[in-house]
Amino acid sequence: MNSFFYYLIPIALGAVAVVLLFGLFNMVRGGSPERSQKLMRLRVLLQFAAVVIMMAALYFASR
């Protein structure tokens, strides 16, 4: 089970970083405000998922 989280945590964190960068690049270059808003909402959801995954990893590691 630990090896599952060993790979899943970096993937979740990488997804958050990629969406954050896409959102920032869209805002910097003057892209659609609606698209920036959608990307930032997606970032928040991905951050929530990453925190849940990390908490689950800690829970299962302590067992």
pLDDT for residue 2: 75
In the three-class reduction of DSSP (H, G, I as helix; E, B as strand; rest coil), residue 17 is classed as helix
pLDDT for residue 7: 93
In the three-class reduction of DSSP (H, G, I as helix; E, B as strand; rest coil), residue 27 is classed as helix
Amino acid, res. 31: G
pLDDT tens, N- to C-terminus, the chain (63 residues): 778 888 999 999 999 999 999 999 999 999 999 999 999 999 999 999 999 999 999 999 888
pLDDT for residue 63: 81
pLDDT for residue 62: 87
Strands (E), 1-63: none
pLDDT for residue 12: 96
